[in-house]
Amino acid sequence: MISRHLYHYWLQFKESGWIFANELKRIFRDPGVVVIFIVATLAYPLIYKALYWNEQITNVPVAVVDMSQTQESRAFLHRWNAAPDIKLCYSCASMAEAEQLLRDQKVHGIIYFPRDFSKQLADPLGQAHISLYCDMSSFLYMKAIYLSCNKVMLESMQNIQIDRYEKMGIDKEFAWALVQDAPYSETALFTPTGGYGSFLIPAVLVLILHQTLFFGICMLGGTAREENKELYRIPGRRRGISVLRIVLGRAGAYFVLYYALAAILLGFFPRLFDIPHIGAIEDILRLNVPYILATIFFSMCISVFIRNRESGLVLLISSSLIFLFMAGISWPKEMIPEAWRYVAALIPYTWGSHGFIHINSMGASLWTTRTEYIALWIQTGAYFVLACVLLYLSGWLSERKKA
C-alpha cells in the first residue's frame, strides 16, 4: 500500500519534471523568446541608462527682456547666469522678439523685467514683479529654468528685505536675524542628484521584468496554438497530465530563469549605474519571489486568450506605458481616477514597483513594505487558481470542438 502511494507521488513528480524540462527546451529553442527573455531584459536597462546618463540639463538657453535696465535687474541676471543650469543667450528689446526665439526653439525660456522693477524695490511697501516663461515641451527644460530662477529670487529677496530694514533704521545684524528667523536647509531625499533618471529607472527596471516575462509567455502560448501542438501529453500515455501539474511545471521553468534575471536586474544594475540603492539586497530578493510568481501566473492567464504569436507584441506595446502610469510612479497616484486605481491594483507591476522603490531607493525593510509584499502573495494565489481554471476550460473546449 505504501509502495503504491510512493509510486504515485513519484509519477506525479516525474510528470511535473517532464513539463519543467520541456518548457525550458521550448524557451531556448525559440530564438524570439530567447531574445525577449534574456537579451531584451538585460539590454533595455543599458539603453535607458544611456538615454538618462546626464541626469541634469545644463546651459539651457534663455532670452532676457529687461525693460528696467537698472543695476538691480542686471545684478539679478548676473547671479542667475552664474548658475550651471541656464545660459543667458539673447537680450531682446521686446517680448515679441523673445517669443519668436522661443517659437524657433533657439531658447527654452524668457525672463521679463518691467519698467518699474527698480522703483518698486526702492519703495518700502512696493512689490516688484518678474515674469518667467518656460518651454513646457520638455519637463527638464522647465525644471532647470524654474528652479534656478527661484533660488536666485529667494536669495535676492533676503538682500532686499535687509536693505528695507536698514532704511527703516534697524541695525543690520538685527535685520539679518529677522530675515533668518526661520532658517531652512534643503536636502534631496532618495535622489541626491535630483535627476530624472534616478527617479524613473528603478520603476523601469521592474517594468522590464514584468513586460518581457508577460510578452514571452504570450508568445509561447500563441506559437503553440498556431502549430496546434499537444504540448503537455507525455509520450506513451493516452490521457493528458492534470492541469495543476502543467501550471506548476511551466511556472517552475519561468521562475528559475527569471529569478536569476531579477537578481541581476534589481540587485546588480542599480549598483553598476550608481542609482540610489540603500536597501538590503536580501529584502529585494525576498520581494522578487512573489513578484515573479504573480507575474508568471498573471501572464499565463492572459496567454490562454492569445491565438497567434504576434498578439503578444500588440499587448506589450499597448500596455507598457499604461502600466507605468497607472502604478502611480511617473504620475501621482492621487491624480489617477479611482476606477483606474482599482484596475492598477490587479496588475503585479503596481505592487512590485512600489515595493522595490520603497526597499531599494528609500531604504525600507520588507516588514515596512509588507502591504505590497502581502498583496503580491495574494495575487500569486489568485492568479494561480485562475490560470488552472482557464487552462482547464481551454482544454475542455478544445476537446469539444474535436468531438
Any idea where the domains of the chain sit in the sequence?
2-52+193-402, 60-179
Confidence category of residue 197, pLDDT binned at 50, 70, 90: low
Close Cβ partners of 167 (under 8 Å, ≥ 6 residues apart): 124
Q: Is the separation of the CB atoms in 220 and 30 below 8 Å?
A: yes
pLDDT in tens, 140-169: 788 888 888 888 887 777 666 666 666 666
For residues 184 and 336, which has the higher predicted lDDT (pLDDT)? Answer: 336
C-alpha angle with apex 302: 235 to 19, nearest 5 degrees? Answer: 20
Model pLDDT, residue 234: 42
Q: What is the mean pLDDT of residues 377-390?
A: 93
Between helix 370-402 and helix 281-303 the angle, nearest 10°, is: 20
Confidence category of residue 332, pLDDT binned at 50, 70, 90: confident
CA quadruple 18, 19, 24, 28: dihedral sign: positive
Q: Is the separation of the CB atoms in 311 and 371 below 8 Å?
A: no
Closest CA to 329 of 178, 229, 190: 190
Q: What is the mean pLDDT of residues 363-386?
A: 93
Nine cell digits for residue 380: 500569486
Over the chain, what is the mean pLDDT? 81
Q: How does DSSP assign 288-308, residue by residue?
A: HHHHHHHHHHHHHHHHTT--S
**22 has a pLDDT exceeding 80:** yes
Domain 60-179 has CATH 3.40.190.10: yes
For residues 309 and 86, which has the higher predicted lDDT (pLDDT)? Answer: 86
Closest CA to 230 of 19, 12, 7: 19
Closest CA to 157 of 139, 174, 180, 141: 180
Q: Which helix (H) or strand (E) segment is 29 a member of? A: helix 2-29
Model pLDDT, residue 235: 41
Mean pLDDT lowest for which of 14-23, 265-274, 394-403?
394-403
Confidence category of residue 124, pLDDT binned at 50, 70, 90: low
For residues 11 and 396, which has the higher predicted lDDT (pLDDT)? Answer: 396
Q: Is the separation of the CB atoms in 258 and 348 below 8 Å?
A: no
For residues 381 and 226, which has the higher predicted lDDT (pLDDT)? Answer: 381
Between helix 139-167 and helix 71-81 the angle, nearest 10°, is: 140
Model pLDDT, residue 159: 66
